[in-house]
Structure 1
Amino acid sequence: MVRRALNNGPVIQKEKETVAKMIEIYCRRKHHRKELCDECLDLKNYALKRLSYCRFGEEKTACSNCKVHCYKPIYRGKIKAVMRYAGVWMLLEHPVFSIRHLLKK
């Protein structure tokens, strides 16, 4: 079995930071938690792992523009709900991350 090298370049690291912040906002506001609940922690770990193995690496676009769906359907639904909800709050809480993400689209 051939393992793909981990992507840890600056583009992937910024994507990881952005998705982590979105999940934190979602959990804090929807689940009323200061720390991530088990479900959100699982989603965060899954998302970070998928980003680490993204086949596009540093050439990665926004996931919504990607033709390859690397998330399992259950996680895809969860991350869509997180992004839909947290996207608006990201503009207020982390405007730099939001603008960077919007420019990527």
Structure 2
Amino acid sequence: MTVDEKRKLELKTMYQIIGIYCHNKHHTSKGHLCEDCEHVWEYAEHRINACPHMESKTFCSVCKTHCYEPTYREKIREIMRYGGPRMLLVSPIQVIKHIYLEWKDKKRG
């Protein structure tokens, strides 16, 4: 997988998870984010696009560098804890790949 493909996959996954969270918690229509979640998405998109480790890392959750400011880091954790498990209903193959890559990285480290 190329660096661009990894970045696109990470962006897609993050947007989907934020979308799940926003739809269920803030009652927005599917495919739309409320103003607060839109700000979180823009911040996450910027951080993912600026990631200096994209070539060698799998996902932000297993990265050695914390790019997110503490307030955003906590909000992203909250969103990921809620939306991550629900991704099984939206994109089960993507979730399985994520779990496998995280497991593989932990085994290597």
TM-score range, shorter chain: 0.7 to 0.9
2:17 to 22, 28, 36: 22
Aligned to 2:91: 94
Q: CA deviation at 1:48?
A: 0.9
Aligned to 1:4: none
Unmatched segments (≥5 aa) in structure 2: 103-109
Amino acid at match of 1:72: E
Amino acid at match of 1:101: H
Secondary structure, in 3 states, of the residue corresponding to 2:55? helix
Tell me if 1:56 matches 2:53.
Answer: yes
1:1-105 matched pairs, under 5 angstroms: 9-34=4-29, 35-105=32-102
Q: Is the 8 A contact 1:10 1:58 kept in 2?
A: no
Relative to the length of structure 1, the TM-score reads: 0.87
Relative to the length of structure 2, the TM-score reads: 0.84
Q: Kindly, what percent of the aligned residue pairs are identical?
A: 42
**Which 4+ residue blocks in structure 1 deviate beyond 6 angstroms?**
none
Q: Which moved more, 1:55-64 or 1:71-80?
A: 55-64
Q: CA deviation at 1:103?
A: 1.6
CA distance in 2, matches of 1:59, 1:67: 11
CA distance in 1, matches of 2:78, 2:66: 16
Amino acid at match of 1:12: R
